[in-house]
């Protein structure tokens, strides 16, 4: 395997392209995915590679094209729906929440929905309140869907390829802030299994659990805290559904302290769920309650300094770790 270095966005495209070559049932649709090469250039070149029947520009009509893709998936096709932003998924709430995750159940096993819905999720670009959604807070509440949030380019490829092959609906959340990140990505087939968290940095004093972009904030905080003699174990959850609670629990039983970092709002979030599960599994192992770092419980602001204060960051994570360890 070569030591090839490519961008996160190219890793995403490679997964889609390889799966489309493998399986003619796979196709891509969304706003600007074809002639424009994708609003964030993720699908660059795919129109030339596969033609307009399989790389399909849609109008700005999320409810329509998401619902259309779900209908196609009921008949066994494997659509990849790109939402330019997950913020725009809210106008498609009925198809993506009422149809995709419930079809198998409502039909008593007759019709599944092997669809991937992917796009940019999360704040960080001064886009204001309506364009900065972290939909994992809301959507992870719904059984029947899987949710994958890669933090590194190799996972971007391996997790998206797994998502496309998955027989269940997968909500695939990408951070626009990570798309230019470069890393080693295997060239050939590369599949990262769902429900397997990975330890990004081993440590002994505290378990830092996160997923997606805030994993990088956790690694930054761990680097700072190491200078203070605090050893952080950083776990990248990769998927929220399925959630790999076992890896978290194993770590917390070793460190006896846990900080969960989640860029969605705190109320009823993946972070609150993980904290609850850690409390249930590790009640006797914990030296303090699980600490949580979320976005501030306000609409996302525009001003750069306010947005910086709004999001989880390394400083706030380090403060939470010190608090969890009773370090003044």
Catalytic residue among 62, 136, 176, 307: 62
Q: How far apart are alpha carbons 215 and 236 in whole angstroms? A: 6
Binds another protein by CB under 8 A, chosen from 1, 3, 35, 75: 75
Residues sharing a CB contact under 8 Å with residue 83, sequence separation 6 or more, in sequence order: 30, 62, 66, 89, 92, 117, 118, 119, 120
Q: Per rule CB under 8 A, is residue 192 in the interface with another protein?
A: no
Q: Catalytic site residue 190?
A: no
Residue 313 CA: distances (Å) to CA of 86, 200, 203, 320: 22, 17, 20, 11
Binding mask 26-55 for another protein (x = CB under 8 A): -x-------------------------xx-
**Integer CA distances (angstroms), 158 to 135, 165, 247, in order:** 22, 11, 20
Shortest distance in whole angstroms from residue 42 CB to another protein = 22
Q: Is 173 helix (H, G, I), strand (E, B) or coil?
A: strand
- Least distance to another protein, CB of residue 302, Å: 28
Q: According to CB under 8 A, which one of 1, 2, 3, 59 is a site residue for another protein?
A: 59
- By the rule CB under 8 A, 191 interacts with another protein: no
Instruction: Report, in this order, helix, strand and coil percent for the chain, each rounded to 5.
Output: 40, 20, 45
Cis peptide before 324 (omega within 30 of 0): no
Least Å distance between CB 197 and another protein?
Answer: 14
81: β partners: 29, 117
Number of residues that bind another protein (CB under 8 A): 47
Q: Please, which of residues 84-113 interact with another protein by CB under 8 A?
A: 94-95, 98-99, 103-112
- Clarify whether 131 is annotated catalytic: yes
| Stretch in the footprint of another protein (CB under 8 A) among 162-170, 204-212, 215-223, 272-280 | 162-170
Strands 232-236 and 198-201, by their bridges, are antiparallel
Binding site for another protein (CB under 8 A): 24-25, 27, 53-54, 56, 58-59, 61, 63-77, 94-95, 98-99, 103-112, 114, 143-144, 146, 166-168, 195, 242
- The residues annotated as belonging to the active site are 62, 131
């Amino acid at each position: 395997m070569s030591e090839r270095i490519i961008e996160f966005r190219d890793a995403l495209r490679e997964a889609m392209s390889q799966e489309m070559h493998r399986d003619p049932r796979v196709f891509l649709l969304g706003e600007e995915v074809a002639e424009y090469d994708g609003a964030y250039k993720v699908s660059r070149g795919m129109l030339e590679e596969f033609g307009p029947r399989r790389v399909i520009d849609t109008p700005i009509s999320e409810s329509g094209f998401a619902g259309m893709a779900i209908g196609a998936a009921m008949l066994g096709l494997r659509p990849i729906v790109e939402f330019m932003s997950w913020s725009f998924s809210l106008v498609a709430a009925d198809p993506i929440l009422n149809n995709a995750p419930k079809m198998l159940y409502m039909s008593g096993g007759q019709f599944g929905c092997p669809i991937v819905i992917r796009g940019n999720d999360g704040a960080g670009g001064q886009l204001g309140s309506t364009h900065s959604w972290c939909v994992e807070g809301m959507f992870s509440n719904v059984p029947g869907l899987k949710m994958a949030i890669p933090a590194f380019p190799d996972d971007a490829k391996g997790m998206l390829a797994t998502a496309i092959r998955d027989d269940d609906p997968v909500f695939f959340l990408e951070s626009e802030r990570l798309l230019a990140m470069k890393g080693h990505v295997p060239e050939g087939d590369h599949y990262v299994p769902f429900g397997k968290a990975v330890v990004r940095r081993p440590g002994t004093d505290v378990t830092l659990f996160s997923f997606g972009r805030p994993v990088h904030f956790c690694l930054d905080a761990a680097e700072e805290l190491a200078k203070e003699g605090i050893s952080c174990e950083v776990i990248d959850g990769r998927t929220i559904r399925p959630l790999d609670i076992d890896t978290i629990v194993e770590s917390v039983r070793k460190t006896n302290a846990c900080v969960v970092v989640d860029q969605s709002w705190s109320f009823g979030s993946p972070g609150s769920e993980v904290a609850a599960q850690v409390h249930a599994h590790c009640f006797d192992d914990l030296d303090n309650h699980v600490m949580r770092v979320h976005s501030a419980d306000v609409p996302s602001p525009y001003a750069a300094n306010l947005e910086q204060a709004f999001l989880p960051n390394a400083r706030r994570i380090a403060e939470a770790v010190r608090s969890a360890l009773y370090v003044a």
